[in-house]
Structure 1
Amino acid sequence: MTTEPASVRYLVDDVPAAVAFYTTHLGFTVAFDSPAFADVRRGALRLLLSGPASSGARATPEEARNAVPRNRIHLVVDDLDAEIDRHRGAGLTFLGEAVSGPGGKQVLLADPAGNLVELFQPA
């Protein structure tokens, strides 16, 4: 069993734009960056950003390339309302309004390629 951090791969159209989004707005740091691929990290989450020329993107079957994304990374925040205000001030667009449930409240935004990010404040 490996002790590497958990990884999620997001396919992106523009690696530099994705790196800027995650590092500028969501507190990720860059572990590796190239025109075709980047590895950004936040805590134990390793997010692999694969551009069209990367092997990860080329390995995606054609029928899966246009799937509507429903899965998302889930980032816990201390104050969801403050995060929404901060991101709106930076020009980011949310997908719908914040919703509340028994576990807390959450809102979705999309990265430049349309991959979903959930900001979540526990109850």
Structure 2
Amino acid sequence: MTNVSVRYIVEDVAASIEFYVTHLGFTLEQDARPAFASVTRESLRLLLSGPGSSGARAMPDGRHPAPGGWNRILLMVNDIESEANRLRTSGLNFRNEILKGVGGSQILLEDPSGNPIELFQPAH
């Protein structure tokens, strides 16, 4: 059962589907390419809104939603070092190296449009 939905503005819906399904274990739920798709992983439903979707339309003041920024989804992992190495081997981009803190370790992966995904391993 999906408990939470998050919308990401993406530049290419097909590339985003490929990224989330192939590399992060999401399942394709709805495919309305080229405008929109939704993918799920456990209780997360991620809405991928391309340039032709209603979620990417301009605001009344003329601003346009754009990918990127710093708000992000967080995916729990069991072994952050091996997961980061696996994704690097696939040629994926990270914003930083693994950061270790009192609560655990994290690293920021970017999707094909530059949206961040935080991989997080809790401290033991």
Confirm or deny: 8 A CA contact 2:100 2:106 kept in the other structure: yes
Return structure 1 stretches of 4+ with deviation > 4 angstroms.
none
Structure number with higher helix proportion: 1
SS of match in other structure, 2:19: helix
- Cα distance, 1:122–1:101 mapped onto 2, change above 3 Å: same
1:50-70 CA distance string (max 9 Å, x none): 001011111556435358511
- The answer for unaligned runs of 5 or more in structure 1 is none
- Cα distance, 1:67–1:42 mapped onto 2, change above 3 Å: closer
- The answer for unaligned runs of 5 or more in structure 2 is none
> TM-score scaled by structure 1?
0.91
Q: Aligned partners of 1:67, 1:57: CA distance in 2, in Å? A: 10
Confirm or deny: 8 A CA contact 2:13 2:49 kept in the other structure: yes
Confirm or deny: 8 A CA contact 2:109 2:117 kept in the other structure: yes
Q: How far does residue 5 in structure 1 lie from its aligned partner after superposition? A: 2.5
Q: Aligned partners of 2:83, 2:59: CA distance in 1, in Å? A: 33
Confirm or deny: 8 A CA contact 2:71 2:116 kept in the other structure: yes
SS of match in other structure, 2:97: strand
Confirm or deny: 8 A CA contact 2:9 2:67 kept in the other structure: no
**Amino acid in the other structure paired with 2:119:** L
1:10 match = 8
1:117 match = 117
Query: Does residue 1:31 correspond to 2:29, yes or no?
Result: yes
> TM-score scaled by structure 2?
0.90
| Identical residues among aligned pairs (%) | 55
Q: Aligned partners of 2:29, 2:100: CA distance in 1, in Å? A: 34
1:53 match = 52
Q: Aligned partners of 1:7, 1:59: CA distance in 2, in Å? A: 21
Q: How far does residue 93 in structure 1 lie from its aligned partner after superposition? A: 1.6
Confirm or deny: 8 A CA contact 2:38 2:46 kept in the other structure: yes
Structure number with higher strand proportion: 1
Cα RMSD, aligned residues only: 1.8
